[in-house]
Amino acid sequence: MKQNDDNYFRRGLGFKSAVKPLLAETYGSEIVNAIKAADYRLKVGRFTFRMARSLGFCYGVDRAVEYAYETCARFADRRIFLVGEIIHNPHVNQQLLDRGVRFLFPSDEGRFDFSAVEPDDVVIIPAFGVKLEDFEELRRIGCILVDTTCGSVLTVWKRVESYARDGFTSVIHGKHFHEETRATSSQVLRYPEGRYLVVRHMEETDLVCDFIRGRVDADLIRERFTDRVSEGFEPVRDLEHIGVANQTTMLATESLAIAARIAEAMSDRYGPEKLPERFRSFDTICSATQDRQDAVKDMMRDPPDLMVVVGGYNSSNTNHLASLCARFTRTFHIEAASGIDAEAGTITHKPAGTQDVLVQSDWIRDGPLEIGLTAGASTPDSLIGETAENILRLAGIDPATIGVAPV
């Protein structure tokens, strides 16, 4: 398909210069710039802020948000729909709602109802992409499509499509309910014999490996993975040739370990000499996700007194950053700067590895304190900066002392 045609846009809409000032004003932060200018370590009063050297908006997210704003500028006279969320950040999504974008949300099974969409409408495809069947349905409707699917996601799609073409089942490390994984798994269905199975973590991987080695029967695989395999999946037939891929935002070390574990099982079953014809793998963690994880690991060589991780609670890459930090220091994952209530002295956060959201009052001690900051790839600088400002207000420090006007 062409990158841009009359009804399909993938490389901008010609309004970049028009929306650039608005994006800078909406999502930029003077305090983030100040911390970066101080070599990512800035002392303000009793606080020393340390910031990860790679954090916040990645290229793919930045591009998706920019295209969404360009869409609003170019098609101001049309109804604009968005398939799901543009990214996993409630602040950014609310900004688009405020600009009149209409959100189409899926059912619990991940199905979208496009009956409200008409040919004269505009539909934005989010950074995660959409399932093949949804894309085809939107093309049948004939509406204008603005496709912001991340390039790293497209790389994974090409990989699993090649697996399906060559008769390999895609074993995908990811969350089966996540938009990206649903979109990725659908790509194997371009081929009639395409098959996939989604594993969430090493425990599920070990179950698959036990089957490969002949230690468990096919019924157990069918039962455990009933909602995360392609239709008609038969373990005996479909796990003889395996290609591994992953949701781009998963923890890189875990994805690599899962691939190695499956390779070992395939070697045990068929012999190491047969491995090249039975098993394929490709590291499809996106570079931005890897960079943010590496930046946090680098910080944890000398951990701060506490870490604040900013990003959506449903953001996979943000949750992984919080889990990494929690191994080394007290960690608070907040969804937005408003999670820090300077007046009450509380923080609303989600502990790493849980789905609980807690309000805590004893989270920050008196005296000198080193506070680390990082953020998921869906978090703009504005929210990181506002977080630092609210922390300063907890200690009665005016953010204007570092050249930042109070919010």
Question: Which tens digit of pLDDT belongs to each residue from 313-356?
Answer: 989 889 999 999 999 999 999 999 999 999 999 999 999 999 99
User: Is 22 domain-assigned?
Assistant: no
What is the 3-state composition of the chain as percent helix, strand, coil, each rounded to the nearest 5?
Answer: 45, 20, 40
pLDDT value of residue 221 = 97
Which one is catalytic: 66, 70, 85, 180?
180
CA atoms within 13 A on the CB side of 302: 5
Burial letters 307-328, b for 16+ CB under 10 A, else e: bbbbbbbbbbbbbbbbbbbbeb
User: Is 271 domain-assigned?
Assistant: yes
Using DSSP's 3-state secondary structure scheme, residue 198 falls into: strand
The domain in which residue 371 lies consists of 27-58+288-402
pLDDT, mean of residues 374-401: 92
pLDDT, mean of residues 165-180: 96
- Kindly report the pTM of this predicted structure: 0.88
pLDDT value of residue 403 = 55
Lay out the sheet containing 242-246: strands in order across. 196-199, 169-173, 242-246, 279-281
Q: What percent of the chain has pLDDT over 90?
A: 86
Question: Do residue 244 and residue 275 come from a single domain?
Answer: yes
Q: Which tokens sit at 211?
A: 């089957």
pLDDT value of residue 406 = 42
pLDDT value of residue 110 = 84
Indicate the range of 8-17, 299-308, 322-331 predicted with least confidence: 8-17
pLDDT of 1 strictly over 80: no
Q: What's the rounded Cα separation, in Å, for the pair 255 and 261?
A: 10
Question: Do residue 184 and residue 279 come from a single domain?
Answer: yes
pLDDT of 312 strictly over 50: yes
Question: Do residue 358 and residue 332 come from a single domain?
Answer: yes
- Tell me whether residue 369 is exposed, middle or buried, using C-beta atoms within 10 angstroms of its C-beta: 0 to 12, 13 to 18, 19 or more: middle
Using DSSP's 3-state secondary structure scheme, residue 250 falls into: coil
The mean pLDDT value of the chain amounts to: 93
Question: Which tens digit of pLDDT belongs to each residue from 234-265?
Answer: 999 999 999 999 999 888 889 999 999 999 99
pLDDT of 93 strictly over 80: yes
User: Is 108 domain-assigned?
Assistant: yes
Question: Do residue 141 and residue 65 come from a single domain?
Answer: yes
pLDDT, mean of residues 90-105: 94
Q: Which of 150, 176, 198 is the last residue of a domain?
A: 150
User: Is 222 domain-assigned?
Assistant: yes
pLDDT value of residue 165 = 97
pLDDT of 285 strictly over 90: no
Q: Is 180 among the catalytic positions?
A: yes
Compare 145 and 376 and report the one with higher pLDDT: 145
DSSP 285-341: --HHHHHHHHHHHHHTTS--SEEEEES-TT-HHHHHHHHHHHTTSEEEEESSGGGEE
Question: Which tens digit of pLDDT belongs to each residue from 207-229?
Answer: 999 999 999 999 999 999 999 99
